[in-house]
A and B are shown apart, each in its own frame.
Chain A
Amino acid sequence: MSKELWKGNEAIAEAAVRAGCKYFFGYPITPQNEISEYMASRLPEVGGCFLQAESEVASINMVYGASGAGARVMTSSSSPGISLMQEGISYIAAAELPCVVVNIVRGGPGLGGIQPAQSDYFQACKGGGHGDYKLVVLAPNSVQEAVDLVQEAFDIADLYRTPVLVLGDGMIGQMMEPVEFYPIPKRELPEKNWAADGTRGKRPPNIINSLYLKAEECEIENLRRYEKYAAIQKSEVKCETYNLENAEVVCVAYGMTSRVVSNAIDTLEKAGINAGLIRPVSLWPFPSGIIAEVAALPGVKAFLTVEMSMGQMVEDVRLAVSGKKPVHFYGRTGGMVPEVSAVVNEVKRITGEEI
């Protein structure tokens, strides 16, 4: 298939359908409404079901139900809506059900605004909901990568029986970019023999549950689930690097911000300053290993984390760098996007260059 021009939100929805998603439950919120709008017209064409729920709380519990019955299911929202879903996400993680949740992040806290932001990193990667659990968090930096990652997210969810969060921002949802839908490699997936989809009189009922009246049992379940998380950390780290060779300053940025940073790196190169980029694609599992390796390189003088937040991922970068090198931070917040020139100046400040 040749390239076509797609809006990020539409492309995310189409990618989900192509990955076999048959059910979508959601509630409107800007800047991700095109996902629901697209699903409403597209899912009936593939024999699926779109339902606008009465709230985000209802949506995520519908996802819980459909996933428990073994269906490929997705919901999407933007920051405040994702906050409302946290209880349900915790239940889904506890019940070990696969599903895909898309967060097209907007400025916050509170109602914030409708412009792009990355200030839901903590919520995405550090729990968000209650209890000991993790989400696999994938952060695309182009519409094409969003299409690829959404499709892969369904396989990762099924393989590990875990909710997967695709973390975009308003810009990736709203902008148009060329996209090609090609078949992505499918993983070998286990049979869903746990699904509560009717016994047909042939087996004992499957029960989906997250309540443990004995603390000992709850602990055993948590320990077992964390073994699974360890396996994910071993196999599912995704990361891209750019211009790391000879880099004095290593920037760390994800999603849309990484594109601002890579343009800043090109500008700096023309001025004779060597900067590079580590772009985490999976935010959890976080590419700590790669960051630690780069931090140990003698040529690397400092790190600069750039985010559309007051500084969230920077904490994981500091943990990974582990004091070997200074870690600086530059961020814009509330829906503002860092400018290429501002990132250039931050790097120059670190290298002691004149601005």
Chain B
Amino acid sequence: MEEYPEELRTPPVSLVALFGYSELQASISKHLHSQQPPINALAFPDFSHISLLLVPDDQSSVASSFRDPLSVSDSSSPVPARCGGILKRDWLLKHRTKVPALVAAFFPSHHIFGDPTQWLQVCSDLDSLKSVIRPKNIKLVVVVVQSSPQEEISEDRLVALRKRAELDSKYVIFFNSSIDSELSVSLSRIASAFAELALAYYREEGRRIKSRVEKRSSNSPDLNVRYCFKVAVYAEFHRDWAEALKFYEDAYHSLHEMIGTSTRLPAIQRLVEIKTIAELLHFKISTLLLHGGKLIEAVTWFHQHKASYEKVVGSTEFIFLHWDWMSRQFLVFAELLETSSATAQGFSSLNQGTAEISLTEFEFYPAYYYQLAAQYLKDKKCALELLLSMSETAQEINSCSESITPSGYVGQFAQLLEKGEGEALTFHSITDEEYTRYTISEAKRFQDSFEIIAWLKRSYESFTNLKAGRMAARCAFEVGREYFDLADPNNAKKYFDIAANFYRQEGWVTLLWEVLGYLRECSRNLGALKDFVELSLEMVVLPVTSYDDSGNLKNKNYGPGGPATFSGRESIHQEIFTLLCREAELLSSIGGNGFKLATDSPLHLEIDLVSPLRPVLLASVAFHEQIIKPHAMCSITLSLLSHLPLPVEIDHLEVQFNQSMCNFVIRNSQRPLWATSSNTVQSGSQVENEPSLVLVPNNWLRLTYAINSEQSGKLECLSVLAKLGPLFTISSRAESPAAMEDLSVWKHENRVESLPTKDPVLAVFGQKATQVDELEPQVDVSLGASGPALVGEDFTLPIVVTSKGHAVYNGELKINLVDVGGGGLFSPRETEPFSLESHHVEICGIDGAEGNDESESETGNIKKIQQSFGLVSVPDLKEGESWSCKLEIKWHRPKPVMLFVSLGYLPHGSEDNTQKVHIHKSLQIEGKMPLLISSQFMLPYRRDHLLLNKIKPAPDSEDMSSLPLNEKSVLVVRAKNCSEIALKLVSMSIELDDKQGETSCLIHQGGGCGDSPSSANLAPGEEFKKVFTVIPITRTSKLDLGSVHLKWRRQGSNITEACVLTKHKLPEVIVEASPLVMNLSCPPYAILGEPFTCAVRICNQTQLLQEAKFALADAQSFVLSGSHSNTISVLPKSEHVLSYKLVPLTCGEQQLPKITLTSARYSAEFQPSAVASSVFVLPSASHAKKTNSTVK
């Protein structure tokens, strides 16, 4: 596209000429240029330069041998007898840069309205200007430049000026540059007037030429094309794209009709001219279509263009001209597509159904066109080379084509001859022979290959971006081939590699063969032996099975690899193996391949699982057993498969394991021993001999041997190394038969597939790795547990390590606590205060055995303890020795726990290669609650308080007991041994948790005498009770009584051992003041038949009058006197006594008549408790005395 002149590539821009006032011209030009659409300005400083405007062309004067029908001055006689050409080369440029659409004359206002002499000067300037522009219909604008807006304007002069200039009043413009605001107004006024006039000029010119097209359409097709072109250009000037497109297409079609009819020039040149113009018109049309966003139309147009001219080859001898032209069409269209915005939006919105020719996906991308452009250029290159090789007069061509240049017409060439001495140069038309000579010599100057490579690379990138990998691979392949032809193996290799990698993935063997053939040649040229061998081997193992090579080996359509046939594989195989496996005496000689294989540079190939060389040597290794004992023999089967076309003899095989001690060698006994030993197999390792080691194509070579391993752990076969000849080794990664993948290139082939091992089970499930067991441990670890553990105590557990045949070195004891339930030792849902410690069971410490203190101080001794994990180092033990330690575990909650202990040690000192022996032990330990603590409140005897809370409990205090304020209540605390172990209770006390508790209640130990000992022995199931008195002194709805602190230890354990402290939180109580207190006073006992007095005192503790209703229920065992029911009023802070006389009728413990008191104020009813309101009735007074005396 860059080869087109700029005026053709860019849309036309209107041109104006400015005269006078050079100081203003710069700013005006700038302003015009920034307009939308822009206007270019020619600036002339003053009117003396009028003659410079419309200077006739140098060219037209030179080409005087032709008549020039294009220049406008000739328009009066538009039918020339003989037309020189279709389009003049510089016509468009002239209208872009020389012929303005309008001329603007700038005059200062004082010249017009002032001095008459100056006015006359203005008039004469205008006249001369008019005489120049009038014949060409160029428009005129007069600009009056005012120095200030207040300047005086003479109306007469202005009218005279208009008359003189023959102008409408709106084209006489006042321009004021003195004030900024005025300046911009003036500038925009000028710009709009200019744009309007320029548009009018181009429209008129277009109309003028169009009328000519319409008038004489039949006459000369040359002129028709030219006029259509001009109309189209003028239409472009005035931005009528539709009309431009229409006339360009008209011109194109008229031109196409000329192909057979025109006789003006010699045949070849005629066609060249037509094609050149067709190309130009096509370019214009495509540009217009693409800029209009009509992508489908543009592509369809291109198709038509290609189809119309594809067969217009011209002389077959010089077909390269046609290929060159075709290639240029594709290239230009590709570049247009690439730069156009239409492609950016993609073609998702396109509907292909509407197009007449069905278009395919990639035809909308420049990549497609770049690729074809390169292909045509390649055709051109070939045609040219053929032509040059045939022409014997190449030398001559060079000599006589010097003076030929492009002539004044588009697509024509002429000889520039010097006439006489001096500047008179004339164009002479040339013959076809001269022309072809010229073009050949021109074509020879170009390096087509670089162009081809550049375009293909662009195509490659574009296809890669489109994710069209195969197209991209093809482009890469073509690039590589072009580089290969240029003898640039480095670059060629780079691109061939891209293509080869792609073809490898898809298994297109013939294509891969071709690329590999080129790559092989590249590496040969580069002298890269390893690459050469690898590529050759890869080619050799390709699944090419066709035998068809019917003499087309010489055909140059094939790459250097030759055709993909079986015999091709065989010959490359032989070439490679003669190169690599020569006998020692031949080593220094230089082979036919040009490679020198030096003795000190052995060649080693690594084959892994993804290598394309995998079919060269496929190694499948299977252990016969999955687990083997140390030092025991184990069978291993080694199966090798090769897809080389010819049998290969292996000198020796080395089998390598992850335990290098196990490596072994299989030697072919027919081959001599090579002095060079490998470094992978240690001397003294296992050596097996085989009568022959020959790999037959597509047949497994199966070998079974026994090996043993001393080291425990995983034993895995890593690789199999085959030595072929003195210097060539191939190492193939070992594969398990169970996990062997198909060879990627061979998997689609029809062939007999056999199993790698004869044993079908091994072939399906065989593994290349096996597990070697550990040694039997000969050390005992015992965990001495003594029954269940109790919550809260430090439970000690002795661990004894006893050696029974092995010494222990570097011993390490790992201790793990695991919850039996599996839920872990920590449950975050528990929110009780003492479970804030995260673990319910934890290891507190590990107490080393006697004499362990010094070893602890040694460096390197490990002793790590976490809450459920511990690590202890065990000192070195000799045979028969033992070592013990104590593990301390603490339970916070009752929970069964699994204890795992594992000991790892080295049985033989500090040898590095030996492995640790492990012993595992586990024990389940139950954690139990030792004591069950409960508490109970008791109110004072026969003194009942009206506790409102008890009667109408608050919603949230259902379980809480209420205590009366300032009254002594009794608290009984019980501790029951619920474990199976006898415990010794050391002390029990109540501790208040906070200071508030101390001020709100008083707690004393009950009894105060020594008959309740603070320490006691508790057998399993026994209970210990202790009484406390509580006097609440503050009224509160929640009294915290603190907690019971119980100290205990296991009975019989050492006194020095610390006691365990168990805490039990006492329930919270409600403290309230009771408004009424009912006291029952009654003798301690009664005697049958003897009356006694019983009084019920109702005490009002409030400041209010309390009305109380009481009711007395009769009792069967008593005769009662007194009021049965009544309502009484009790004065504030006073007492009301109800007194009864009772006669017991029955002996024994008797229930007194039950009194029920109802407080009217609180509408609450309460009764004394049943226990308090009973009395023992003795049969006689003597009993009473006896009882009294015993009590005393």
Q: Are A and B physically bound partners?
A: no
Chain A contacts to B: CB under 8 angstroms: none
